[in-house]
DNA sequence: TTGAAAGCGCTAACAC
DNA sequence: GTGTTAGCGCTTTCAA
């Protein structure tokens, strides 16, 4: 059963292949009667136009791409019970990219594009990135997922927009989120509105530009308020997961045993903050009465947990939408100057800091 | 800047185009020295292999697809503040497909495939579905997203697996979830273990096969227990959203005013149940003391809300993984008999029914 | 409105 | 290990 082609459809409907092609590309340019004949023939043959052939001939794909980090080991066992656990924590972890995917998918669809997604995977010339690059009209890359070197090469052939994280390649379009501003606002709120003075910050790995920017915002707020300015987070987590949040919260309290413990812990993201909430509840430390806790991201869970989490809301979905916008623009005008957007964030005051 | 091709790379590195091709397809079949020359040339030219050309020549794409329903109007305004609201409710709504996407993406990656996703969109010959179909080696379709007629045609040219929902086309691979069994177990639990006898069921639209199957499970449990068997849900929601859950919960209580109200309300999904929790709290009706509430799906929020929600956990991510498995199998053996899987679900007992 | 012919950039046999 | 040569199935001029 080798797939029918334009030739088969043309023959069966008594027209030329050019006409068959027109029917799919621009139906109105074909007489209605002819068109119906072609469509009938196509249906009865089970004809599906080859995207590859179309793409090759027209030099476009109608597809946009997204490369995001590989959060979880794809080879991990997915045992029956193991899954329940895994899904629970990890669903929070991945919400971030889920939202971006969703935003991109929608915006892409609005422009008539489909979305090709692939988590990054190191590899030779045949890496997934290369595959994606060859199959799309342009794509977005989350920070730290593709070697800069590869992006350099690929970006010479098609539009790439870099998402979240510092601008690594300055001739590329780029979108980031006001991490530093957001954390500064948040810390200011804690200091000014709640009068807290002993703050602690739990960061992420040193390579996480987001976590670093948030820490800088925290530093600025401390400096402004005349509080001691740490030059390193009080603690760093490798994974920024709930589990790590629990661990770091425990560590922080243990460390403070006997001395005055912090009045607030600012976590570099929501997942950790939520993990910390569990740890604190377990230890009988009341939030926000005994200690305030804040996160960053504004994932849906943050408003559901008890106490609800004060956080900084990132417009993740909008990130995806803007990414598509930039790609579409650049596709239309490849010569325009590189654009760099900084998306605003907003502090969401809830119970865990003593508001709401 | 017309993109460089194998010819350019071949010329620049002094080899034939076949060798260039080999370097990307099967690096080990080329002498290391030659390979490096080719790779260098490619890098300096900014060469990216054309997925279209490769696909056309090799008759494969290395991409799997997923078509899912269009939950939200892509043309909807995404105003600054509007988004916060939208994201809140809708993040719950879409978790379902998010999980499937995630499961598919992972499994696909494990097999060296990328994933092309597109929400369904009605349209002429140029519908998104057609686009997807032409660009993948096989794809999965969520129930009710693509006209059966289209699937008939397309399935003659490439593997399709249908997800969730009854098997509409019997020569296709198909995966469903044990909706009926799950709801029956859940209702049994309420009846037997908690001794409840006045139950109410809130369903979804008549066209939702999942909601219907769940209702059937509910009916069976009633029948078994000698309780009155309704032949229609007590109430139906059009959207199965939190908002509808609130509305239906209110309606149910209003309707029962003066008479005995139900001892338990079983909702056809978690979102509605969670909405109902809000409504009940607002009205001062205690859950589970005054009334038990249950959902279906096992979305992450279900264990976070207070009281935590008793529900039936669907293995959504596994659905995605199994879908990839079926596609891979069928790709390897197109002649094998159609497979139909029924994924088991499990009742998760939590606070909202009086457990945990 | 429709047809004829020339590629699009690659892979796959098959030679060497 | 490497080169030659046909296509893969479509879109795109250019004519008619």
Work out the percent of chain B whose per-residue pLDDT is above 70: 91
Name beta bridge partners: B236.
Answer: B203
Q: What is the pLDDT of residues A285-330, one digit of tens each?
A: 999 999 999 999 988 778 878 899 999 999 988 999 999 999 999 9
Is the separation of the CB atoms in A184 and A345 below 8 Å?
no
Give phi and psi for B147, each to the nearest 5: -55, 135
On the question of pLDDT at A76 being above 60, the answer is no
CB-based contacts of B284, cutoff 8 Å, min separation 6: none
Predicted structure pTM score: 0.88
Cα dihedral A132, A138, A143, A147 sign: positive
- Nearest nucleotide (C1') to the CA of residue B22? C11
**A-chain residues near B106 (CB < 8 A):** 72, 74, 119
User: What is the average pLDDT across B309-320?
Assistant: 93
* Strand B346-348 versus strand B311-313 pairing type: antiparallel
β strands within A152-275, DSSP E:
160-163, 173-177, 199-203, 235-236, 264-267
Q: What is the pLDDT of residues B145-179, one digit of tens each?
A: 888 989 999 999 999 999 988 898 999 999 999 99
In this structure, what token pair is assigned to residue A247? 């661990």
Q: What local confidence, expressed as pLDDT, does residue A143 receive?
A: 85
In this structure, what token pair is assigned to residue B227? 């309780």
**A-chain residues near B99 (CB < 8 A):** 87, 91
Q: Is A170 exposed, middle or buried (0-12, 13-18, 19+ CB in 10 A)?
A: exposed
Is the separation of the CB atoms in A241 and A267 below 8 Å?
no
User: What is the average pLDDT across A193-217?
Assistant: 94
Strand (E) or helix (H) holding A69: none
Rounded alpha-carbon distances, angstroms, from residue A320 to A93, A307, B129: 17, 30, 22
Q: What local confidence, expressed as pLDDT, does residue B151 receive?
A: 92
* Strand B138-142 versus strand A138-142 pairing type: unpaired
Work out the percent of chain B whose per-residue pLDDT is above 90: 74
**Chain D footprint positions (protein CB, under 7 Å):** 1-5, 7-13
- Among B313, B339, B309, CA closest to B326: B339
| Option in B25, B116, B134 nearest A49 (CB) | B134
Burial call A88-123: b when 16+ CB within 10 Å, e when fewer:
ebbbbbbbbbbbbbbbbbbbbbbeebbbbbbbbbee
Report the gap between the CA of B200 and the closest CA in chain A (Å). 26
Q: What is the pLDDT of residues A212-232, one digit of tens each?
A: 999 999 999 999 999 999 999
Q: What is the pLDDT of residues A89-121, one digit of tens each?
A: 444 545 678 889 999 999 999 999 999 999 876
Q: What local confidence, expressed as pLDDT, does residue A189 receive?
A: 98
A153–B43 CB contact, under 8 Å: yes
**B-chain residues near A132 (CB < 8 A):** 114
Q: Is B160 exposed, middle or buried (0-12, 13-18, 19+ CB in 10 A)?
A: buried
CB atoms closer than 10 angstroms to residue A77: 8
A125–B157 CB contact, under 8 Å: no
- Among A230, A271, A227, A226, CA closest to A248: A271
Three-state SS string across chain B, please? CCCCCHHHHHHHHCCCHHHHHHHHHCHHHCCHHHHHHHHHHHHHHCCCCCHHHHHHHHCCCCEEEEEECCCCCCCCCCCHHHHHHHHHHHHHHHHHHHHHHHHHHHHHHHCCCEEEEEECCCCCCCCHHHHHHHHCCEEEEECCCCCHHHHHHHCCCCCEEEECCCCCCCCCEEEEECHHHHHHHHHHHHHHHCCCCCEEEEECCCCCHHHHHHHHHHHHHHHHHCCCCCCCCCEECCCCCHHHHHHHHHHHHHHHCCCCCCCEEEECCHHHHHHHHHHHHHHCCCCCCCCEEECCECCCHHHHCCCCCEEEECCHHHHHHHHHHHHHHHHHCCCCCCCEEEECCEEECCHHHCCC
| Option in A24, A157, A321 nearest B48 (CB) | A157
Q: What local confidence, expressed as pLDDT, does residue B122 receive?
A: 64
CA gap A106, A100 in Å, rounded:
10
Average pLDDT, chain B: 90
Give phi and psi for B248, each to the nearest 5: -70, -35
DSSP string, A278-337: HHHHHHT--TTTT-EEE-SB--THHHHSSSPPBEEE--HHHHHHHHHHHHHHHHH-TTSP
A61–B135 CB contact, under 8 Å: yes
- Nearest nucleotide (C1') to the CA of residue A59? C8
On the question of pLDDT at A75 being above 50, the answer is no
Q: What is the pLDDT of residues B23-36, one digit of tens each?
A: 999 999 999 999 99
Residue in chain A closest to B127 (alpha carbons) equals: A112
- Among A236, A47, A76, CA closest to B317: A76
CB-based contacts of B79, cutoff 8 Å, min separation 6: none
User: What is the average pLDDT across A126-148?
Assistant: 89
| Option in B1, B99, B115 nearest A117 (CB) | B115
- Among B18, B8, B16, B1, CA closest to B42: B8
DSSP secondary structure code for residue A14 in this structure? T
| Option in B24, B101, B130 nearest A125 (CB) | B24
CB-based contacts of A33, cutoff 8 Å, min separation 6: none
Q: What local confidence, expressed as pLDDT, does residue A82 receive?
A: 41
CB-based contacts of A284, cutoff 8 Å, min separation 6: none
Is the separation of the CB atoms in B274 and B221 below 8 Å?
no
On the question of pLDDT at B213 being above 60, the answer is yes
Q: What local confidence, expressed as pLDDT, does residue A126 receive?
A: 61
CA gap B95, B299 in Å, rounded:
7
Residues in chain B, total: 356
B107–A304 CB contact, under 8 Å: no
On the question of pLDDT at B101 being above 60, the answer is yes
CA gap A56, B266 in Å, rounded:
53
CA gap B237, B268 in Å, rounded:
9
**A-chain residues near B110 (CB < 8 A):** 74-75
CA gap A316, A309 in Å, rounded:
18
**Cis bond upstream, residue A141 (ω within 30):** no
Q: Cα-atom radius of gyration of chain B, to the nearest Å?
A: 26
Give phi and psi for A277, each to the nearest 5: -55, -45
CA gap A260, A221 in Å, rounded:
21
User: What is the average pLDDT across B183-209?
Assistant: 95
CB atoms closer than 10 angstroms to residue A209: 17
CB-based contacts of B96, cutoff 8 Å, min separation 6: B297, B299, B316
* Strand B63-68 versus strand A346-348 pairing type: unpaired
Q: What local confidence, expressed as pLDDT, does residue A124 receive?
A: 55
CA gap A258, A273 in Å, rounded:
23
Is the separation of the CB atoms in A46 and B157 below 8 Å?
yes
Confidence grade of residue A125 (pLDDT, cut at 50, 70, 90): low
> How many cross-chain Cβ pairs, A to B, lie less than 8 Å apart?
213
């Amino acid at each position: 059963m080798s797939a029918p082609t334009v030739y088969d459809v043309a023959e069966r409907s008594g027209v030329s292949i050019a006409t068959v092609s027109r029917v799919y590309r621009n139906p109105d340019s074909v007489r209605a009667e002819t068109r119906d004949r072609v469509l009938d023939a196509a249906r009865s043959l089970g004809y599906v136009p080859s995207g590859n052939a179309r793409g090759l001939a027209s030099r476009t794909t109608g597809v946009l791409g997204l490369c995001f980090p590989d959060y979880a080991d794809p080879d991990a066992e997915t045992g029956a019970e193991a899954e329940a656990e895994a899904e629970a924590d990890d669903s929070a972890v991945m919400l971030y990219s889920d939202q971006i995917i969703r935003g991109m998918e929608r915006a892409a669809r609005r422009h008539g594009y489909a979305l090709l997604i692939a988590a990054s995977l190191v590899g030779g010339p045949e890496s997934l990135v290369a595959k994606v690059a060859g199959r799309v009209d342009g794509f977005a890359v989350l920070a730290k997922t593709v070697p800069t070197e590869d992006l350099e090469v690929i970006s010479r052939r098609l539009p790439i927009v870099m998402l979240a994280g510092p601008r690594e390649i300055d001739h590329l379009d780029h979108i980031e989120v006001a991490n530093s501003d957001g954390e500064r606002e948040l810390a200011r709120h804690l200091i000014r509105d709640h009068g807290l003075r002993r703050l602690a910050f739990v960061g992420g790995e040193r390579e996480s530009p987001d976590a670093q920017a948030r820490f800088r915002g925290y530093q600025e707020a401390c400096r402004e308020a005349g509080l001691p300015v740490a030059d390193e987070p009080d603690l760093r987590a490798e994974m920024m997961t709930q589990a790590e949040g629990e661990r770091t919260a425990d560590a922080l309290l243990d460390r403070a045993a006997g001395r005055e413990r912090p009045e607030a812990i600012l976590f570099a993201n929501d997942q950790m903050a939520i993990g910390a909430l569990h740890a604190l509840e377990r230890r009988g430390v009341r939030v926000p009465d005994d200690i305030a806790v804040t996160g960053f991201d504004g994932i849906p869970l943050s408003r559901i947990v008890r106490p609800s989490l004060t956080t900084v809301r990132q417009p993740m979905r909008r990130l995806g939408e803007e990414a598509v916008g930039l790609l579409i623009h650049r596709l239309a005008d490849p010569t325009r100057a590189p654009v760099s957007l900084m998306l605003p964030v907003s502090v969401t005051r809830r119970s865990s800091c003593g508001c709401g």
